[in-house]
Chain A
Amino acid sequence: MSTAVPEEIHDVRLHVNGAVHEVAVPARRLLSDALRHDCGLTGTHVGCEHGVCGACTVLVDGTPVRSCLMFAVSAVDAEITTVEGLTEADGSLSPVQQGFSDCHGLQCGFCTPGFLTTITAGLRDNPDPSEDEAREMIAGNLCRCTGYQNIVKSVLRASEIQREIERERGGTA
């Protein structure tokens, strides 16, 4: 077998959670690996590396994307949001994160980041989902611990929290 040609390294500027990360990666570097290992954002988890489980879901320009199915070099110019970026500026939990906390929507926590990002985008598109719509919203993510019962409740609770926040904002406006 011949000696492999050294891989070409690409300098890539990733915009993640409002910060810029300059990383040098080969073209085949998955976005999931770049986020975890190059940007140090280990909140994004890798559960299957074939796009089925959804644990690695991040928001790319607001859209849920399986970061294990995207190359880091393809994410240049995109605004990426990971689970670390969901938390409010003051460090408090976002409505979706709070919904999970209120409803025991997680156990081992490994799949959770993918659910949180997916639901964050889902509630932006549909802020007031029915229970069936909540189910639909999470129907592409695998969880092995919770049996999904409390994740569905968490979606509905997150929607409720969002409405409470909006009401408060409306009240003080």
Chain B
Amino acid sequence: MTTKLFGAKVPRVEDQRFLRGQGRYVDDLLHDDPRLLHAAVLRSPHAHARIVDIDVSDVLDLDGVLAVWTWEDLTGPMAEPLPLLIPHPALTEGRTQYALAKDEVNYVGEAIAFVVAVDRYVAEDAVSRIRVDYEYLQPVVGIAAARAATRLVHDDVPGNVGARMEQENGDARAAIAAAPHTLHLELDVERSACTPMEGRGTVARWDPDTSRLTVWSSTQTSTGVRGCVAAKLGLDLAKVDVITPDVGGGFGVKVVHPWPEELLVPLAAMTLGRPVKFTEDRREHFISSAHERAQQHVVDVGFDDDGRVLGLNVEFWHDHGAYTPYGLIVPIITSTQLLGPYKPQNYRVVFESLYTNTVIVTPYRGAGRPQGCFVMERTMDAIAAYLGKDRTEVRSTNFIQPDEFPYEHGLVFQDGRELTYDSGDYPASLAKLKELVGWDEFEDLRAEMAAQGRRVGIGLACYVEGTGVGPYEGAHVHVETSGKVKVATGLTTQGQGHQTAFAQIVADTLGVRFEDVEITTGDTRKMPYAVGTFASRAAVMSGSAIHLAALRAREKALRIAAEALEASEDDLDIVDGVVSVRGTDATIDLGTVAVLSNPLRYAFDEASKAATQFTVGDPGKPPVAEDDEPGLEGKDFYSPPRSTFANGMHAVIVETDPETAEITILKYAVVHDCGHLINPMIVEGQIHGGVAQGVGGALYERMVYDDSGQLLNASFMDFLMPYVTEVPTSIDIDHLETPSPLNPLGIKGAGEAGVIPSAAVFAAAIEDAEGFPITAMPISPSELFALRLEHADDTHATALGS
């Protein structure tokens, strides 16, 4: 038997092409096609304005310009607003933008005109020749302005409130009123964004010979883009292929679709009869893709002497930007995942999702969870501080216990299903974390450092992450007559190593060599039924589907091989692509089984002769039985009843400089439970990346809008994404593997985990170092310094809470 690959640190197969510069990202495609045209977009320089007139008369004079579109040139569905992807009954005032602005612009960066030219330089020259007359309107920037509602983003949305949603389990306010102790907290999180290294991009080619449109897009959902392109351009779905090539990072932003350019590029390609490419530049990514995170929370909590939460009432305001294409997913996740590993006896949450004249807000890795985790963990720390208890003790008191699973929270999650946790062992995770970070020894370190005039603090934060949301994913496994195994699943890949992890599953399940397995993702020609890669769902959803499809292929292989070898299926093994009869020398290659699976009239090579009509088959029966199909294939879908809930806990030790307030990370520890690990190397890589993004989000990154709605730091010069110099020099990771009972592999998602507790854990550690409450994140040295001045008069520095 070959070594089991599931659970092994198998090196990634995709690295070979990436390391040689042979990856194929969307901007690399068709580069040698002389007919390829390039697009550039005129974007609004104003946050809020009416468009009085657009004059494009100078554009076509420019050598090399082929076409320009404004809204007036769009017809049919293209002239309608973009789809509201995830409607929700609470989203009573959903609004989406047009592919090109009609009458009004609502954020700096909103697309107004689309120019196609022979190269990008000329296209940008042409954009600069478009003259737009605007009637300026006062913008609404930030949650405070949105709530004040003295000005409106959309005239027909009163109070700037897109949605108000409330969920309650028990009677939180009554429980708080009756509780022995209560605390009130006000907490803020600012805007940040995914900022993958590769921005958005789309290439389209209309083939008049076959009447087919091929669209390549840097997306997290090929099937979603396909559906939108077909609907908007009035094409039969069967005429549209969408292929996701290599993608230079997504982190959530690329699940939004269709972007205006994802429709305009195919439209231009069809209109002009030439392939067209749009590649977003970095500034465009800042001002015309999507942001996340900004929320303000007000928390009231009631608890007993042990710190047990008896009632929790959370009200928050979510800044969703100018439009709501992605519905209420982010605030719904915040409102439900806020609960983390805890079981407050009574919980009420109500949020308002607000319009502002800023870039749209859609999921960014963690997708509302970092805010929820920040709020819950700040609350736990406040309770501990109030009661004078160890912070881990208060958390333990509130944990859902291992014997309480499945645990029902009595709320509805982002997928419309009950919020029910499937498994976990939070006390065991906490014990591991305390050990890993040296929680119990920290006071010695604090004293030792204090003796040197150094100030340190420790914090921890726990989270639960609903991963692997439905509705489904599918897979197709095909064993070719060469014995090579071609596997397709429809969701996309943005660096997660799917070609490796999924091949590990196939190799084990089917019994073939890893090297013989080739995985294709995100190609609607190969698998037209799929959802996408988001919500830490790829391994759970496609991993499970691939396993099931491989099982089907295996069953068929055994059936055919048993007949060929005149043996019982029960006596067969498949190892390294060879079927053998246990205890004998009889064997048959899977490639040969594939030949036999497909009755032939014509032999195309030596091997295929074995399947021709005078060679095989019972002349008295149909060559393909009624309940059978030709080919050695397996196809299956995985559709779980609900999400599976991964969890984890982070701890950090920070040092804060007494003079400069610089924050230095001394130790970072992660305990992570995503069930069984397919490839621990890849999972740890995901955690590393998440932690780094979390460090950025906690200490450096924010979107700085001025009052006029201009994004002041829309470049990598000013938006401080961490370099190696900002991340911890090491990240200590320990895994707990509590399998999920919901899928055949016992796995849970891992992609987003690393980033979820960051704001919470850094706030806790900085607070512990400084002795005054940290209620807003991110926090810069300047802000920490300002807080020091503010609290300098406190004779008794108190911890969080009031």
Binds A, one of B76-84, B143-151, B452-460, B721-729: B721-729
Tell yes or no: A84 within 8 A of B by CB: yes
Docked-complex contact B19 and A142, CB < 8 angstroms = no
By a CB distance below 8 angstroms, the chain A residues around B495 are 106-110, 145
Q: Which residue in chain B gives the minimum CB-CB distance to A4? A: B62
Docked-complex contact A108 and B248, CB < 8 angstroms = yes
Among A29, A106, A149, find the residue whose CB has the most chain B CB atoms closer than 10 A.
A149
Tell yes or no: B691 within 8 A of A by CB: yes
**A-contact bits for B681-713, CB 8 A (1 contact / 0 none):** 110111011111100000000000000000000
Tell yes or no: B16 within 8 A of A by CB: yes
Instruction: Given the known inter-chain contacts A28-B121, A82-B21, please indicate yes or no for A3 contacting B717, CB distance below 8 A.
Output: no
By a CB distance below 8 angstroms, the chain A residues around B155 are none
Q: Which residue in chain A gives the minimum CB-CB distance to B17? A: A109
Q: Which residue in chain B gives the minimum CB-CB distance to A103? A: B681
Contact of B494 among A49, A86, A108 (CB under 8 A): A108
| Smallest CB separation, A22 vs chain B (Å) | 15
Docked-complex contact B721 and A144, CB < 8 angstroms = yes
Docked-complex contact A110 and B715, CB < 8 angstroms = no
Tell yes or no: A43 within 8 A of B by CB: yes
* Interface size in chain A (residues, C-beta < 8 A): 61
Docked-complex contact A87 and B20, CB < 8 angstroms = yes
Docked-complex contact B31 and A108, CB < 8 angstroms = no
Tell yes or no: B251 within 8 A of A by CB: yes
Docked-complex contact A52 and B251, CB < 8 angstroms = no
Binds A, one of B7-15, B392-400, B461-469: B7-15
* Interface size in chain B (residues, C-beta < 8 A): 65
By a CB distance below 8 angstroms, the chain B residues around A131 are 729
Contact of A97 among B19, B25, B248 (CB under 8 A): B19
Instruction: Given the known inter-chain contacts A53-B197, A139-B724, please indicate yes or no for A46 contacting B27, CB distance below 8 A.
Output: yes
Compute the total of residue contacts between A and B using a CB distance below 8 Å.
Answer: 183
Docked-complex contact B198 and A45, CB < 8 angstroms = yes
By a CB distance below 8 angstroms, the chain A residues around B781 are none
Cα separation A3 to B63 with both chains bound (whole Å): 9
Docked-complex contact A49 and B20, CB < 8 angstroms = no
| Smallest CB separation, B114 vs chain A (Å) | 19
Q: Which residue in chain B gives the minimum CB-CB distance to A53? A: B716
Tell yes or no: A151 within 8 A of B by CB: yes
By a CB distance below 8 angstroms, the chain B residues around A173 are none
By a CB distance below 8 angstroms, the chain A residues around B246 are 108-109
By a CB distance below 8 angstroms, the chain B residues around A6 are 63
Docked-complex contact B121 and A148, CB < 8 angstroms = no
Docked-complex contact B18 and A147, CB < 8 angstroms = no
| Smallest CB separation, A104 vs chain B (Å) | 5
Cα separation A49 to B682 with both chains bound (whole Å): 30
Docked-complex contact A50 and B715, CB < 8 angstroms = yes
Tell yes or no: A31 within 8 A of B by CB: no
Tell yes or no: B222 within 8 A of A by CB: no
Q: Which residue in chain A gives the minimum CB-CB distance to B194? A: A144
Docked-complex contact B121 and A26, CB < 8 angstroms = yes
Among B18, B24, B682, find the residue whose CB has the most chain A CB atoms closer than 10 A.
B18
By a CB distance below 8 angstroms, the chain B residues around A42 are 21, 24-25, 27-28, 31
Cα separation A4 to B129 with both chains bound (whole Å): 10
By a CB distance below 8 angstroms, the chain B residues around A86 are 21
Cα separation A143 to B730 with both chains bound (whole Å): 16
| Smallest CB separation, B255 vs chain A (Å) | 15
Cα separation A47 to B195 with both chains bound (whole Å): 10
Instruction: Given the known inter-chain contacts A145-B249, A147-B689, A151-B724, please indicate yes or no for A106 contacting B716, CB distance below 8 A.
Output: no
Say whether chain B's binding surface is mostly helix, strand, loop, or mixed: loop
**A-contact bits for B343-357, CB 8 A (1 contact / 0 none):** 000000000000000
By a CB distance below 8 angstroms, the chain B residues around A148 are 688, 692, 723-724, 727
Cα separation A158 to B198 with both chains bound (whole Å): 26
Cα separation A170 to B67 with both chains bound (whole Å): 63
Tell yes or no: B125 within 8 A of A by CB: yes
Docked-complex contact A150 and B724, CB < 8 angstroms = no
| Smallest CB separation, A53 vs chain B (Å) | 6
Tell yes or no: B61 within 8 A of A by CB: yes
Binds B, one of A33-41, A69-77, A122-130, A161-169: A33-41
Cα separation A106 to B368 with both chains bound (whole Å): 27
| Smallest CB separation, B254 vs chain A (Å) | 11
Docked-complex contact B125 and A4, CB < 8 angstroms = yes
Cα separation A28 to B120 with both chains bound (whole Å): 12
Q: Which residue in chain B gives the minimum CB-CB distance to A110? A: B248
Contact of A48 among B11, B120, B282, B723 (CB under 8 A): B282
Q: Which residue in chain B gives the minimum CB-CB distance to A6? A: B63
**A-contact bits for B471-491, CB 8 A (1 contact / 0 none):** 000000000000000000000
Contact of A143 among B21, B28, B197, B684 (CB under 8 A): B197
Docked-complex contact A104 and B21, CB < 8 angstroms = no
Cα separation A149 to B282 with both chains bound (whole Å): 25
By a CB distance below 8 angstroms, the chain B residues around A29 are 121
By a CB distance below 8 angstroms, the chain B residues around A152 are 724
Contact of A107 among B121, B497, B731 (CB under 8 A): B497
Contact of B12 among A104, A146, A147 (CB under 8 A): A104
Contact of B282 among A44, A47, A106, A113 (CB under 8 A): A47
Cα separation A55 to B197 with both chains bound (whole Å): 8
By a CB distance below 8 angstroms, the chain B residues around A113 are 21
Docked-complex contact A104 and B681, CB < 8 angstroms = yes
Docked-complex contact A144 and B496, CB < 8 angstroms = no
Tell yes or no: A20 within 8 A of B by CB: no
Docked-complex contact A146 and B19, CB < 8 angstroms = no
Docked-complex contact A116 and B497, CB < 8 angstroms = no
Docked-complex contact A149 and B730, CB < 8 angstroms = yes
| Smallest CB separation, A83 vs chain B (Å) | 4
Cα separation A112 to B121 with both chains bound (whole Å): 26
By a CB distance below 8 angstroms, the chain A residues around B716 are 47-48, 50, 52-53, 142
**A-contact bits for B182-199, CB 8 A (1 contact / 0 none):** 000000000000111110
Cα separation A83 to B15 with both chains bound (whole Å): 13
By a CB distance below 8 angstroms, the chain B residues around A149 are 688, 727, 730-731
Tell yes or no: B585 within 8 A of A by CB: no
Docked-complex contact A109 and B248, CB < 8 angstroms = yes
Docked-complex contact B196 and A108, CB < 8 angstroms = yes
Instruction: Given the known inter-chain contacts A28-B121, A135-B725, please indicate yes or no for A147 contacting B692, CB distance below 8 A.
Output: yes
Docked-complex contact B18 and A106, CB < 8 angstroms = yes
By a CB distance below 8 angstroms, the chain B residues around A141 are 723
Instruction: Given the known inter-chain contacts A36-B31, A142-B716, please indicate yes or no for A150 contacting B688, CB distance below 8 A.
Output: yes
Instruction: Given the known inter-chain contacts A36-B28, A43-B21, A83-B21, please indicate yes or no for A110 contacting B724, CB distance below 8 A.
Output: no
| Smallest CB separation, B453 vs chain A (Å) | 24
Tell yes or no: B247 within 8 A of A by CB: yes
Tell yes or no: B746 within 8 A of A by CB: no
By a CB distance below 8 angstroms, the chain B residues around A97 are 19-20
Residues of A61-100 contacting chain B, CB below 8 A: 82-84, 86-87, 93, 97, 100
Tell yes or no: A11 within 8 A of B by CB: no
Instruction: Given the known inter-chain contacts A82-B21, A101-B11, please indicate yes or no for A144 contacting B731, CB distance below 8 A.
Output: no
Tell yes or no: A19 within 8 A of B by CB: no
Docked-complex contact A43 and B62, CB < 8 angstroms = no
Residues of B96-132 contacting chain A, CB below 8 A: 119-121, 125, 129
Docked-complex contact A110 and B197, CB < 8 angstroms = yes
By a CB distance below 8 angstroms, the chain A residues around B16 are 93, 101
Q: Beyond A6-B63, A42-B24, A110-B248: 9 further Cβ-contacts under 8 Å? A: A3-B62, A53-B282, A106-B19, A109-B23, A110-B249, A116-B19, A139-B724, A144-B693, A147-B691
List 27 A-B residue pairs with CB atoms under 8 Å apart, sorted by A's residue number. A1-B58, A42-B25, A42-B28, A43-B23, A47-B197, A47-B198, A47-B716, A52-B716, A53-B282, A53-B716, A82-B21, A101-B16, A104-B12, A108-B248, A110-B197, A113-B21, A116-B19, A131-B729, A142-B721, A144-B195, A144-B197, A145-B197, A145-B495, A146-B689, A149-B730, A149-B731, A150-B688
Closest 5 CB pairs of A and B: A43-B21, A108-B495, A110-B248, A109-B18, A147-B692
